[in-house]
Structure 1
Amino acid sequence: MLTDLKVKVGPQFYRYHFGAINYVPELLQEFSAKNVLIVHGQISFEKAKTFLNFLKDDTYNFHFLQYTGECSYYGAERIAKVVEEQKVDFIIGVGGGKLTDLVGYAAHVLNVNFGVIPTLASNCAPWTPLSVMYKESGESEGKSEHFLRQAAFFITDPKLVIDAPVNYFVAGLADTIAKWYESDAILQQEQLINEPFLQVAGFTAELCKKAILDHSAKAIKDMENGEVSEEFVHLSEIVFGVAGLVGGLGDKYARNAIAHAMHDGMSKYIPESHDFLHGEKVAYGIFYQLAVEKKWTQIDALMPFYQELALPMSLKQMDIYPEDEAVIDQIVAFVDSKEKVHLLPIPITMDLLKESIVELEEYISKR
């Protein structure tokens, strides 16, 4: 029996189909909302406006705040100021992953209900009750804020999502496939394998992996052509919804491990990595974790998929390999400090983590 498993399944209400955003007023009524703050980006919000018919409803007082582009503690303070001044009783986030992370964290701190309208499928941020924190400079804070509050609703329209940059969707596919590579070895351990919620988390991670490997090429092509196909809808729903169930059901045992720890380490200690999307850095992190586990055949099996999607496989390929060995030592120490890294069924040491960085670079250079 596990005594430390916290199951937080997902938003209280979910819709993803043509016209779904028109149901937002129904949810606002459910939560007795009157003064509503819309937190939004810039470009994405301009595209989203034509879908936000509820903004014309004079039943509500709408207030607007454009976020800075980062999920930061400063950004949360800006939201808190508007909430206090305008007596806001509900927050809606319209935008991508960092924005929904910011809205979730701010709502948690302020004890205000919130909903999200994602404008792209690049990660499971709209689904999960945690926020990855950054400084306003773009540097990772090296920590995530976990909270119990879930979104009151997650509603969006595939016609809105398909109009996002394709590279964000590709990064989302990489971020999502990591769910299986990070969690499988942990969940297969004898003391965990028969835990019901962990079993469902494992099944869900495998579903994500199979769907992405089978249908990514078609979904990406359809997105490039602006075609809302079955494959695009299926995979975008997996990226921003189903993927969040993995960690929601499996908690720390299925949320992330070395791949995401490496992402955070890169973001913290390699400024040049800010030019890469979250999922792109996680994609490298998957290969790095497999190198730590010495699963070279799995790297070989994934290479065609990475090449097809133009995902990064090494730091040198990304042209961000640190010349200063001290930077590598900092990243390694950071990765080693993460509890979930040590849930893997192998002895994780600083030496192993460091030598695996070098081994992966050499392995990829010969392919």
Structure 2
Amino acid sequence: MISTTLFPGRYVQGEGARRQIGSDLSRLGARGLVICGPTVFRKALPDYEPFMRKAVDVTVETYRGECSDEEIARLLGLALHSKAQFIVGLGGGKVLDTAKAVAYEARLPVAVVPTIAGTDAPCSALSVIYTEEGAFKRYLVLPRNPDLVLVDTEIVARAPVRLLVSGMGDALATWFEAESCRKAYASNMTGNVGSLSAYALARLCYDTLLEDGLAARTACEARIVTPSLERIVEANTLLSGLGFESGGLATSHSIHNGLTVLERTHAFYHGEKVAFGTLASLFLTDKPVDVIDEVFDFCESVGLPTTLGQIGLADVSDEELLAVAEASCAEGETIHNESVPVTPRSVFAALKGADAEGRRRAR
């Protein structure tokens, strides 16, 4: 049996890490295209651009809302026109996925520079492609991981607390999904099984969340960098990225994808929906009561959703929820990596069960 483990080329994290971005980018080339969203363009780009321009020439372009095939094609044209030698993604998860996809299409190296710790996208050789309307479309599996991931925790600490918490929601799924894949001998994102390192890092991710999550949230509220914040940023970004990609995905992310068929969920972050998918997975896979209590306690302590109402579905009908379950069970979805029987009806019941438990605890 062959196992495969994937890593980014270089991972840099710490307070003030942006000050060395120019020297790190210069290893990739002399001229690059920087892709960022409008908010990052106004608020964060000035923190990075002077340090980039000390060592490399860059052209900056703003991203237009979705990691869609249409937006990737537009930005690819700009990369080719500017004769970029590398691509930089600066911002949140969808911007980073877009930059990775553009770099793949242009056959160029890519540097990923998250300004939040809101998803585990930065380190992975994967882009999640959506329609222009925001519905999940497909996974784009890339031939290699980013050449550079650079996270300045000073910038992360300035970002809204909800984004850090959303990243914890994404990271919360990591160990449960990797453990499901390990038990079922299911494949990771490479098509091979995971390694001992991948499963151990996935467990470390979970343990770090439980130990440091609340303290990191408090630090972010105060806009300060503490050891707990550093550890949670690493858990959200590196440990979760390595864990999901090399350990494997299962129910949580499939339910996230299913939830996107309901437009009312589009206002909520990826990690918030993944977190609810994890809660549902506990019921689908018949986890012990003490584990269910531990995960609900964690979600409540840091502010992750524990009911359907907290992700915009307070009035969801059974017909709509069954549509979510059916989309979650679509052919090719990672929910089929579970070692338990999975059907739309069992997923529907798990969604209802998680919501009922969340509402019971809130009373």
| Shorter-chain TM-score above 0.5 | yes
Matches within 5 A, 1:114-129: 114-129=110-125
1:235-264: CA deviations, max 9, x gaps? 1111111211113433xxx2x211111111
RMSD: 2.2
**Could you tell me how far apart the structure 2 residues matched to 1:323 and 1:15 are?**
43
1:97 pairs, out of 68, 93, 102, with 93
1:270-324: CA deviations, max 9, x gaps? 1010111111111110111111112261222222222212221221343415645
CA contact (8 A) 1:21 1:155 kept: yes
* Counterpart for residue 216 of structure 1: 213
> Which amino acid is the alignment partner of residue 66 of structure 2?
E
1:150 pairs, out of 142, 145, 152, with 145
Give 1:190 shift.
7.5
1:152-188: CA deviations, max 9, x gaps? 2111321111111110000101110210122213313
What SS does the corresponding residue of 1:316 show, helix, strand or coil?
Answer: helix
Q: Which runs of 5 or more residues in structure 2 are unaligned?
A: none
> Which amino acid is the alignment partner of residue 240 of structure 2?
A
Within the alignment, does 1:42 sit opposite 2:57 as a pair? no
2:170 pairs, out of 175, 180, 192, with 175
**Could you tell me how far apart the structure 2 residues matched to 1:36 and 1:203 are?**
36
2:359 pairs, out of 343, 346, 365, with 365
Identity of aligned residues (%): 25
Describe the shift of the 1:196–1:101 C-alpha distance in structure 2 as closer, same or farther (beyond 3 A): closer
Matches within 5 A, 1:236-315: 236-250=233-247, 254=248, 256-267=249-260, 269-295=261-287, 297=289, 298-315=291-308
CA contact (8 A) 1:48 1:160 kept: no
Query: TM-score by structure 1 length?
Result: 0.89
Query: TM-score by structure 2 length?
Result: 0.90
**Could you tell me how far apart the structure 2 residues matched to 1:317 and 1:242 are?**
27
Give 1:78 shift.
1.5
* Counterpart for residue 25 of structure 1: 22
Task: Kindly tell me the number of residue pairs found equivalent between the two proteins.
Answer: 354
> Which amino acid is the alignment partner of residue 242 of structure 1?
L
CA contact (8 A) 1:187 1:198 kept: no
Describe the shift of the 1:347–1:136 C-alpha distance in structure 2 as closer, same or farther (beyond 3 A): same
CA contact (8 A) 1:322 1:328 kept: no
Q: Which runs of 5 or more residues in structure 1 are unaligned?
A: none
Farther off after superposition, 37-46 or 279-288: 37-46
**Could you tell me how far apart the structure 2 residues matched to 1:190 and 1:98 are?**
30
> Which amino acid is the alignment partner of residue 209 of structure 2?
I
> Which amino acid is the alignment partner of residue 97 of structure 2?
D
Farther off after superposition, 145-154 or 317-326: 317-326
> Which amino acid is the alignment partner of residue 8 of structure 1?
L
1:68 pairs, out of 51, 64, 67, with 64
